[in-house]
A and B are shown apart, each in its own frame.
Chain A
């Protein structure tokens, strides 16, 4: 009993440590695939898994900017912008990104998850933690049956995520995401964005396949989705990113 109480306290004080504990054999839930491990974003076109593709909402545009690819100015990959979003994109100046104040301002999970950086997953029964190397982000996905936090709760770049399993797929629903870029070229989402991600293993377990679908009634007239693929890498871990904003000074002429 004391051990259990200590473990519960550990959950509160150190989520990552808790996740590591909860992926022990005692905590593992054999009924679900284990997504735990270190995953490096796969270069090239991501896998469009048929089962994941079948779950995409009708009318959703597939963005072809996963990984190193990025759209140029005025190209939003088929996303249709509301007048508010279009006006903001038109007035966007790329040079504003490169200031000491902004150089280490983190994106939200919408941009961060598809970037060419590794992630590390610690899967438990009550929660799953995803560490992103990009900007040292950490996501907690509750799988204990809870609902989203109440309206008016805190907005963060990682948002409020709850998950459940549909067969071999972990479905993650995220809300309360603070405003941030979608495509890194002037299109931002609002804090009304809603994200649904689906994660599953490839048949051989060597790839992590995902979709990231999002809609935002304030900024977008249609939904967008990205396919994302990571390769399993043994023996590596997420490194500290430790962003140094003085980098922006290099842009000053």
Chain B
């Protein structure tokens, strides 16, 4: 361990330095998603499935209570993790009817973190997570 002496930075100088610090790439689950409200579930028709790290994205059209169509996005765990649970880039295709369970975005957007995806026949896509393994 080195013990080189350096002139300490002033508080203002250090604050300035920190202001230029890069943000973290990986967004925080706890900050972005509402775990306190529990799991929400939406049923819809897939329009797009993008299976790339850091997270996959499922876009789907969901019929709202008023009958109007809404677009939802469901963010998946990292595909590299999901591949070990049986997922593939074509596990979900446009036109598929699915049910997505997950945690909704704290800002109330039609955006969620997926926990489980079920097909119209009730079968799960891949091996669902037992616990909140979320990143």
The interface of chain A, by Cβ under 8 A from chain B, is: 43-44, 67-68, 70-73, 83-85, 87-88, 91-92, 94, 96-99, 102-107, 111, 115-117, 133, 135, 148, 150-151, 173, 175, 179-181, 184-185, 188, 194, 218, 236, 239-244, 247, 250-251, 253
Whether the Cβ atoms of A105 and B22 lie closer than 8 Å is yes
A68 to B30, CA, bound (A): 10
The answer to the question of B1 belonging to the interface, with a C-beta cut-off of 8 Å to chain A, is yes
Seed contacts A68-B132, A97-B26, A247-B50; 7 additional CB < 8 Å A-B pairs: A67-B133, A73-B30, A102-B22, A115-B135, A173-B1, A184-B26, A253-B109
- A-B contacts at CB below 8 angstroms, number: 129
Q: Is the CB of A97 within 8 A of B21?
A: no
**A-facing residues in B47-95 (Cβ within 8 Å):** 50, 52-55, 57, 73, 75, 78, 80-81, 83-84
- Closest Cβ–Cβ distance, residue A250 to chain B (whole Å): 5
Name B residues whose Cβ lies closer than 8 Å to a Cβ of A.
1-2, 4, 9, 11, 14-15, 18-19, 21-32, 50, 52-55, 57, 73, 75, 78, 80-81, 83-84, 109, 111, 130-135
Please tell me which one of the listed residues B19, B52, B78 contacts residue A117 in the complex, with CB atoms under 8 A apart.
B78
CB neighbours (8 Å) of A111 from chain B are: 24, 26
